[in-house]
């Protein structure tokens, strides 16, 4: 069936026809046709994508959305006598706090406004004064706005204080080059359906082996115990403790093959940057103002301010959808915005067509009260 529109979102996102076609067959989790080293192959390839220090790291696959893997990591890594520091400048940093509260994990949080990056110097000062902190977590690309937090600088400060480092890289891994071994990241969390361009269904944790071994017995959940999941996968040739998301796994292997064909993460990053450049230049030429300064902006998703106080996003969204493009509403509290993603199986020509489509829309007609609500 033909796709009626292009998804310009941070996930779920556009996938290739070949990725989708791998899901047209049903698989038995125990049969060699499905299980012949596919999970172990995926786990090893993820580690190789993440670092040159492959012997120091391993990976854990976990059913569910990226948030399941964030929760699994937090509830499995922090012991009863530990304390977490959460660095937050958006909804997904705040979600870490919700997880900590649900699981009764002792924690502190430093908060920045949504249009500011996490400040390494402030983190440095806080850790100098609060020696009871054992773990630090933050989001690399905060898709609330599209802001890119300074990964290298934050990692350097956290490791200077010898804290366990947890990074939510769900929106950035596979689309922005970095080496988690060089950054000394202990736990990095990703998802099957973001920059790696698979479909939703599981997340993964790339973890320093020494740090993972310290997680045994910490988990505050049965199904989200990442140590138990890893232990089973290690000892039983990639077996999942509970039902494997077979269709998603096969699709993900195809997606990894296609990443290799594209030239790896550096080439995918180049494409996303070109997508983003065309989007930003085109939107500003039309008259839309971006929320963030250029130096803060990721090539993952971008926020744009409403052009007028009376602008109706719903009317604009529906008209643009009819032209073949689906975008995202805003998520920040301080200003009225909407968002456009530049990742997935989308290319520069798609964004040239998007800009041309938006240019034909009379924004003055997209007003609150014109049959739509904000």
Domain that holds residue 246: 23-261
Calculate mean pLDDT across residues 96-110.
Answer: 98
- 261, 296, 316 - which closes a domain: 261
Tell me how crowded residue 30 is: count the other CB atoms within 10 A of its CB. Answer: 9
- 235, 261, 287 - which closes a domain: 261
The answer to whether residues 167 and 284 belong to one domain is no
CA distance 47 to 120: 27
For 285-342, give the DSSP string. HHTPPBSS-GGGB-SSEEEEE-SSTTB-HHHHHHHHHHTTEE-EE---SSS-EEEEE-
The answer to whether residues 228 and 296 belong to one domain is no
In a domain, 198, yes or no: yes
Q: Which helix (H) or strand (E) holds 351?
A: helix 348-359
CA distance 293 to 280: 11
> What are the backbone angles phi and psi of residue 336, rounded to the nearest 5°?
-85, 120
pTM of the predicted structure, to 2 decimals:
0.95
In this prediction, residue 173 carries a pLDDT of 98
Calculate mean pLDDT across residues 331-354.
Answer: 94
Calculate mean pLDDT across residues 19-32.
Answer: 88
Lowest mean pLDDT among 82-86, 186-190, 332-336: 332-336
Please state the domain count of the chain.
2
CATH number for 236: 3.40.640.10
Calculate mean pLDDT across residues 293-319.
Answer: 94
CATH number for 291: 3.90.1150.10
- 261, 281, 311 - which closes a domain: 261
The answer to whether residues 209 and 90 belong to one domain is yes
The answer to whether residues 44 and 138 belong to one domain is yes
The answer to whether residues 159 and 59 belong to one domain is yes
| Interval 192-212: pLDDT, tens | 999 999 999 999 999 999 999
The answer to whether residues 215 and 192 belong to one domain is yes
The answer to whether residues 359 and 240 belong to one domain is no
Calculate mean pLDDT across residues 142-166.
Answer: 97
In a domain, 51, yes or no: yes
In this prediction, residue 372 carries a pLDDT of 38
The answer to whether residues 176 and 232 belong to one domain is yes
The answer to whether residues 281 and 199 belong to one domain is no
Question: If you average pLDDT over every residue of the chain, what do you get?
Answer: 94
Calculate mean pLDDT across residues 242-248.
Answer: 94
Helices (H) and strands (E) in the chain, counts: 13, 14
The answer to whether residues 252 and 285 belong to one domain is no
The answer to whether residues 139 and 274 belong to one domain is no
The answer to whether residues 249 and 317 belong to one domain is no
């Amino acid at each position: 069936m033909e796709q009626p529109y292009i998804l310009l979102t941070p996930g779920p996102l556009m996938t290739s026809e070949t990725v989708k076609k791998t899901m047209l067959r049903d698989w038995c989790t125990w049969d060699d046709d499905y299980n012949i080293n596919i999970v172990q192959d995926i786990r090893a390839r993820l580690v190789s994508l993440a670092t040159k220090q492959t012997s120091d790291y391993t990976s854990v696959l976990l059913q569910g959305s990226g948030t399941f893997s964030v929760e699994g990591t937090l509830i499995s890594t922090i012991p009863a006598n530990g304390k977490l520091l959460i660095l937050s400048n958006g909804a997904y940093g705040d979600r870490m706090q919700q997880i900590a509260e649900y699981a009764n994990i002792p924690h502190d949080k430093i908060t920045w406004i949504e249009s500011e990056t996490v400040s390494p110097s402030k983190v440095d000062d806080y850790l100098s004064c609060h020696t009871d902190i054992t773990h630090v977590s933050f989001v690399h690309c905060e898709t609330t706005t599209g802001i890119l937090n300074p990964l290298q600088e934050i990692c350097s400060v956290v490791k200077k204080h010898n804290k366990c480092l947890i990074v939510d890289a769900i929106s950035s891994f596979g689309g922005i080059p970095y080496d988690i071994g060089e950054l000394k990241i202990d736990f990095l969390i990703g998802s099957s359906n973001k920059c790696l361009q698979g479909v939703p269904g599981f997340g993964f944790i790339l973890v320093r082996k020494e740090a993972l071994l310290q997680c045994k017995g910490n988990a505050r959940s049965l199904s989200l115990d990442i140590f138990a999941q890893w232990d089973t996968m290690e000892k039983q040739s990639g077996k999942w403790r509970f039902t494997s998301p077979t269709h998603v796994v096969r699709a993900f292997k195809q997606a990894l093959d296609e990443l290799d064909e594209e030239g790896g993460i550096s080439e995918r990053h180049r494409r996303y940057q070109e997508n983003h450049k065309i989007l930003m230049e085109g939107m500003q030429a039309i008259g839309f103002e971006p929320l963030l300064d250029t130096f803060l902006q990721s090539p993952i998703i971008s926020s744009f301010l409403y052009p007028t106080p009376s602008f109706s996003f719903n009317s604009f969204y529906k008209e643009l959808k009819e032209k073949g493009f689906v975008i995202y509403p805003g998520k920040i509290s301080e200003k009225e915005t909407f968002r456009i993603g530049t990742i997935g199986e989308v290319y520069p020509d798609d964004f040239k067509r998007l800009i041309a489509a938006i240019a034909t829309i009379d924004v003055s007609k997209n007003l609150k009260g014109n049959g739509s609500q904000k």
